[in-house]
Amino acid sequence: MKVRLGARGSALSLVQANLIAGALEGRAEVEIVEVRTTGDRLSAAGAPIGWKGDFTRELDEALLSGAIDLAVHSLKDVPSALPEGLVLGAVPKREDPRDVLLSHPRRLFAELPAGAAVGTSSPRRRAQILAARPDLTVADARGNVDTRIRRLKEGKWDAIVLARAGLARLSRLDELTEVFDESLILPAVGQGALGIVARADGGRVRSLLGGIDDPGSHAEALAERGLLARLEAGCRAPVAALARATGQALSLEAAVFAADGSRLLRGRSEGGAVDAEAIGRELAERLLGEGAGELIAQAKA
């Protein structure tokens, strides 16, 4: 069986595509098709990303038109609602979802001097950095991993915050300074996981994906994405979540922040992994009842 696997043209996306191609080896002949997305163009120009779908729209269109059979994404870039006709076909074994600090010269987060500039384009990271260290300056940092690390070494910022998973896949873990505990910086929804999107009516392809799907990682993804969908938060709101599946059990921790880190709402829920999406939605309802909607609306504004 031959399948066409769509991926963005970035170094990280192509590494991820090759990981999936390798996982499917022996089951299918995989052709990797590069698709340049709106998000890639905006990122290259240093422009802000206004919607998660900027990184997925063109791949979705290629899937729906039949130009490709599968698309691989960093799951944190995938909107909580997929276009009609597409499904999340598989979530392979998740990488460590935590955030990491890279600093130049190397200093731990607690050792950064007051006023030090920490680069990130993520409202979620910005809010949590300021909540923990209001004496720091959070500066806008855009571009791919290579670009951000190069600019860090050139002295544009004193430190940057990235996802550990991306560095792991690019074999650059030796460059990190510190791994953040989730009690300090809670990850993004879906961080560390890959999402393989397929057409809903593609029975043979979806059956093929069953061989690379990790049930625990998939349940974690459903819980976190269920929470995000109910919060209707999008990519501009400082929302963080981390689910952990252990056997048939699942726990979910989530938080919503004021953009400046001055206020936060945090909650936790537990249940069976089979009810993952419902667990996410229930926790979202609880956070909304405590005022999360107001924080999200302020962030979007």
Q: Is 77 in the active site?
A: yes
Token readout for 89 is: 């076909």
Token readout for 35 is: 């698709």
Give burial (CB, 10 Å; 0-12/13-18/19+) of 232.
middle
Question: How many other CB atoms are there within 10 angstroms of residue 171's CB atom?
Answer: 8
The kind and range of the H/E element at 195 are: strand 194-199
Inter-axis angle of helices 11-23 and 145-153, to 10 degrees?
Answer: 140
Q: CA–CA separation, 22 vs 17, rounded Å?
A: 9
Q: CA–CA separation, 10 vs 28, rounded Å?
A: 24
In the structure, how many helices (H) and strands (E) does the chain have? 10, 13
**Dihedral pair phi/psi, residue 239, rounded to 5°:** -120, 135
Q: Which of 236, 260, 278, 281 is nearest to 127 (CA)?
A: 260
> DSSP readout, 50-86?
--GGGGTHHHHHHHHHTS-SEEEEEGGGS-SSPPTTE
Catalytic residue among 40, 60, 69, 77: 77
Q: Cis ω on the peptide bond leading into residue 105 (within 30° of 0)?
A: yes
Q: Which residues are catalytic?
A: 77
